């Protein structure tokens, strides 16, 4: 189940990375690299924190290869002018793909931390979950020379944090599978609602 969810998250994050690369007018290789970094970056950071070496992205290349292929596919689709002159379509795809990837990788990060023997440390579980969720997006935005979503966009890291806390709290009562679906679903709902109702954290103007 975790492998299945991570493949979905990999595809979602790869699409979001590829769309950003296209917006930045990168070539096909740049788009594919950005898609790959977005998809596997959070997992690599997670494994390094947990002392799992080499990271799963290198031991199981299906994630990186799938992300790279998705980057090429999105580039080919864009070559047929799917998003060109349609900024709303671009924003919608980026929002949904980024939100799905954020939810899935947050809860899969928590499960990876449990599997590493960190199940008694709730702070570590939540932290690893959030880092896994937002890590790929941070790499994507830095490589694309954007301010990372985590610092400026509506309720991004906050949604990951809330979903991670709920997942950790419910795990002892519901087991791993239900809490993962609830946590990921909550993150997705929060992100979509934040975009719909323009929820933002306070900032100095």
Domain spans of the chain? 2-197
Summarize the confidence of residues 158-172 as an average pLDDT: 91
Percent of residues, the chain, with pLDDT higher than 70: 92
What tokens appear for 147 in the block? 């301010």
33-59, pLDDT tens digit by residue? 999 999 999 999 999 998 888 898 899
Three-state SS for 150-174 is HHHCCCCHHHHHHHHHHHHHHHHHH
Phi/psi of residue 34, each to 5°?
-65, -40
Q: What secondary structure letter does DSSP report for 24?
A: T
Q: How confident is the model at residue 81 (pLDDT cuts 50, 70, 90)?
A: low
| Distance (Å, whole) CA 75 – CA 60 | 24
End-to-end CA distance of the chain: 45
pLDDT of 122-156, one tens digit each? Answer: 899 999 999 999 999 899 999 999 888 777 766 78
How would DSSP label each residue in 56-106? HHHHSTHHHHHHHHHHHHHHHHHHTTSSTT-HHHHHHHHHHHHHHHHHHHH
Rounded CA gap, 22 and 31, in Å?
Answer: 6
In angstroms, the Cα distances linking 66 to 80, 84, 131 are 21, 25, 22
Q: Yes or no: say if 36 and 17 are a contact pair by the CB < 8 Å rule.
A: yes
Rounded to two decimals, the pTM is 0.86
């Amino acid at each position: 189940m975790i492998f299945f969810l991570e493949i979905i998250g990999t595809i979602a994050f790869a699409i979001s990375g590829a769309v950003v690369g296209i917006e930045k007018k990168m070539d096909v290789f740049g788009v594919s690299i950005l898609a790959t970094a977005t998809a596997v970056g959070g997992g690599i950071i997670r494994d390094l924190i947990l002392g799992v070496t080499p990271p799963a992205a290198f031991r199981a290349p299906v994630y990186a290869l799938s992300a790279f292929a998705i980057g090429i596919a999105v580039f080919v689709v864009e070559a047929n002018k799917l998003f060109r002159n349609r900024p709303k379509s671009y924003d919608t795809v980026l929002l949904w793909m980024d939100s799905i990837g954020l939810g899935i990788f947050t809860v899969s990060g928590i499960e990876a931390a449990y599997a590493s023997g960190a199940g008694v440390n709730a702070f570590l579980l939540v932290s690893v979950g959030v880092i896994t969720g937002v890590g790929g997006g941070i790499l994507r935005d830095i490589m694309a020379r954007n301010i990372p979503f985590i610092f400026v966009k509506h309720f991004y890291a906050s949604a990951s944090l809330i979903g991670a806390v709920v997942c950790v709290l419910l795990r002892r009562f519901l087991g791993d599978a239900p809490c993962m679906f609830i946590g990921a679903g909550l993150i997705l709902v929060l992100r979509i609602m934040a975009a719909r109702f323009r929820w933002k954290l306070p900032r100095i103007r």
